[in-house]
Amino acid sequence: MTDADVTVIFNPRAGGNKQRFLSQILQHAGIKVELLQTTHPGHARELARKVRAHQRLFVAGGDGSLNEALNGLLDAQIDGHEVPPLGIIPLGTANVLAVEVGLEIRTRAIADYINNPGMVWVRPGLVNGRAFFLMVGMGADADTVANVSLRLKRLIGKGAYVLEGLRNILFPRHRDFEVSIGRENYRVSGVVVTHAQHYGGAFVISPDASLTANSLDVVLMPGNGIGALSRYGLALTLNRLHAQSDVSVVRAERITITSHCGPAPLQIDGESAGKLPCEISLSPYPVRLMVPPAYAELSSMTDHTSPDLLRIAVD
């Protein structure tokens, strides 16, 4: 690899320890990079949009920073430009995408991945025009993301979400959503539309979901109140949420969700992002995601997004 092949978008607000971790990773990789630092919210999207197609683009940050960069790449495609492959240097709070593709958060493992990535094609999800790699959530999880203390998040990381999640279980807000999938309508208090198996880190929310699938998994949770939310939360930590008797998982390509309880927040890839109603679908613009070789090899055995299928989807 030549030095000019690699661009890294990095958010300096990640903190001193994470900056040192990034430096160690790049030193182990033995490469020099063009390092682009973000200065304001949305900046990663602006920067990714301008990265040339012959480069390899890595985002050093969390799932929110990756989401911004993903949207920048889709912006460039909509404008008619070819875009670079996108990779992960996990420095965030949960790093769900890194967990999803099996990237170990160790200096040597990430350095090896940077030098020898596999590639998979992904059709991102779209919610009200904004792209996502992982998921969209409404209900207790979106309330948690919307109300988590940023100061506490900086101090204790994922623990801030745990504390806010417990508060939402003990003092639940009334949520009443209608989910429309084709001719079917579902009345629920919580819903997660996911392209990924994992949620909140290593927890499995939908074991059959796949980044490379031409569909999304819709996890429908009808229960409300302390009892139901406590049961869902415990089941999630045991990777058994999908197996709860009142929880349904439906596969779909297009979903509409409305609220019967007034304005309600939604979260996209772990970041608060607007209010309901929303329409969710798959983007016609695929991206190449750089992943560990083992994940690329596994995906090739069950790949639903070959270049030919993607070309048909775009056309």
243-254 confidence digits (pLDDT tens): 999 999 999 999
Report pLDDT for 2: 43
Q: In what order do the strands lie in the sheet with 135-138?
A: 248-252, 216-221, 190-194, 135-138, 265-268, 271-275
Beta-bridge partner residues of 60: 10, 89
Give the phi and the psi of residue 40 in degrees, each rounded to 5. -160, 160
Q: How far is residue 138's CA from residue 196's CA, in Å, rounded to a whole number?
A: 16
Per-residue DSSP letter, 12: G
pTM: 0.89
Domains identified in the chain and CATH numbers = 3-124+285-314 (3.40.50.10330), 130-282 (2.60.200.40)
275-308 confidence digits (pLDDT tens): 999 999 999 999 999 999 999 998 887 655 544 4
Q: Is the pLDDT of residue 3 over 70?
A: no
Tokens matching residue 31: 């490469």
Mean pLDDT of 205-214: 96
Report pLDDT for 109: 96
- Label each residue of 244-308 as H, E or C: CCCCEEEEECEEEEEECCCCCEEEECCEEEEECCEEEEECCCCEEEEECHHHHHHHHHCCCCCHH
Give the phi and the psi of residue 131 in degrees, each rounded to 5. -85, 155
Q: Tell whether omega for the bond before 41 is within 30 degrees of 0, i.e. cis.
A: no
